[in-house]
Each structure stands twice: as structure tokens, then as C-alpha cells.
């Protein structure tokens, strides 16, 4: 049997050439084009799967990056809450102080700094939980005291404000419950 790339000898009989062609076709299968088409289709399917896997990978990386950034920002906000608590205490002190103490430059600066910090964080998703009279919700309130009363449990006093960051509670409000 001769190789397909070998030149055909014109002196050979036509029957021998046909027999050689049939032998080459038998080696390649009944239809050599279908084998090539199958291989092409397999490669196309493999490429489509690879492309879909890559698209899923890109989406996962973006989602993971966004989650990491959100956790980092929430951690930073959580670390700033004691600063807000200190500024809240300072403001509470100045509101109970005499008019002379409230009129000082330092008092005004502390109140303005608190308002600025709270406003900046609020614009980015910080919500304060400190509503007196709201129904008690153990998901957002931490009850540390109880006062007898009628009806459902409501917030009687907020001892320390709680906060949500983009809807998730980062610190529950410390409250006294009535009811």
C-alpha cells in the first residue's frame, strides 16, 4: 500500500489506483470528512465550555472583590462607632450644660464634628438605630433593662445608639424596654 502523499505512477493499472484509494479511505473511516467535522465540533464545544468557565470566573472575581471591599468598609465603620459614641456623649454633655459652656468654640466644634461624621457616613449607608417608642426588635435592639408597662414591648430609652451599615446591623442599640 502506498502513502497518500506519494505521486501516482501512471503506469499502474486504474484498478490498482482505485484499490489504493479505497484502502486509504478504509483507514480513515468510511467518510474522512466526518472525522474532521467531529473533531472540529469537539474543539468548538471545548472552546465554548472554556469561554463559559472564563465568564463565570470573571463574575466570581468581581463578586468576591466587591464582598471583600464591603467587609473592609463595614469593619472600618465598626471601628468608628466608638468615636461616634464619644461625640454623642460630648453633645449630650453640652445640651445639659449651662448656656455659657454651650456657647464655647470647643463645644460648637465638637457638635459640628459629630454632625459632619454622622452625615458623611449616613450618605454612604450608615443608619442610626435610636428611636424611642419603636417596637422592640431583638434583631436590632439589645435589651439591658425592663420597665413594667401596658401593651406590647416598646423602646423606653436608648442608652447607646445602634447602627446599620447598608441594611445589615453592625451594632444593636442598647435599650431599656417598657411593656
**Average pLDDT rounded to a whole number, residues 118-125:** 91
Average pLDDT value over all residues in the chain: 84
Q: Answer yes or no: are the C-beta atoms of 172 and 142 closer than 8 Å.
A: yes
pLDDT of residue 11: 53
CATH H-level, domain 126-179: superfamily = Head domain of nucleotide exchange factor GrpE (2.30.22.10)
**Average pLDDT rounded to a whole number, residues 26-39:** 72
**Average pLDDT rounded to a whole number, residues 90-101:** 73
**Average pLDDT rounded to a whole number, residues 175-179:** 91
What's the CA gap between 144 and 72, in Å, rounded? 30
pLDDT of residue 57: 97
pLDDT of residue 98: 64
Residue 1 pLDDT grade (very low, low, confident, very high; cuts 50, 70, 90): very low
Q: Does residue 37 carry a pLDDT above 70? A: yes
Domains of the chain, by residue range, sit at 126-179
Q: Does residue 15 carry a pLDDT above 90? A: no
81-90, long-range: CB < 8 A, 24+ apart: 81/163, 81/170, 81/171, 83/117, 84/114, 84/117, 84/118, 84/161, 84/163, 85/160, 85/161, 87/113, 87/114, 87/117, 88/114, 88/161, 90/114
For the full predicted model, state whether its pTM sits above 0.75.
no
What's the CA gap between 143 and 28, in Å, rounded? 81
3-state class (DSSP) for residue 126: strand
Angle value at C-alpha 99, between 98 and 104, nearest 5 degrees: 105
pLDDT of residue 91: 84
Percent with pLDDT over 90 in the chain: 49
Amino acid at each position: 500500500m502506498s502513502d497518500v502523499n506519494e505521486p501516482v505512477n501512471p503506469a499502474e493499472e486504474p484498478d490498482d489506483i482505485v484499490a489504493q484509494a479505497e484502502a486509504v479511505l478504509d483507514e480513515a473511516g468510511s467518510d474522512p470528512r466526518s472525522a474532521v467535522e467531529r473533531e472540529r465540533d469537539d474543539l468548538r464545544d471545548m472552546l465554548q465550555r472554556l469561554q463559559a468557565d472564563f465568564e463565570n470566573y470573571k463574575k466570581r472575581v468581581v463578586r468576591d472583590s466587591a464582598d471583600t471591599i464591603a467587609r473592609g468598609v463595614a469593619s472600618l465603620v465598626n471601628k468608628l462607632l466608638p468615636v461616634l459614641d464619644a461625640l454623642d456623649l460630648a453633645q449630650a454633655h453640652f445640651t445639659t450644660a449651662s448656656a455659657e459652656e454651650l456657647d464655647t468654640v470647643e463645644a460648637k466644634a465638637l457638635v459640628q464634628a459629630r454632625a459632619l461624621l454622622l452625615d458623611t457616613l449616613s450618605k454612604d449607608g450608615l443608619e442610626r438605630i435610636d428611636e424611642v417608642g419603636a417596637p422592640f426588635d431583638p434583631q436590632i435592639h439589645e435589651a439591658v433593662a425592663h420597665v413594667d408597662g401596658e401593651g406590647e414591648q416598646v423602646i423606653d430609652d436608648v442608652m447607646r445608639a445602634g447602627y446599620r451599615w447598608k441594611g445589615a446591623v453592625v451594632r444593636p442599640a442598647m435599650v431599656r424596654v417598657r411593656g
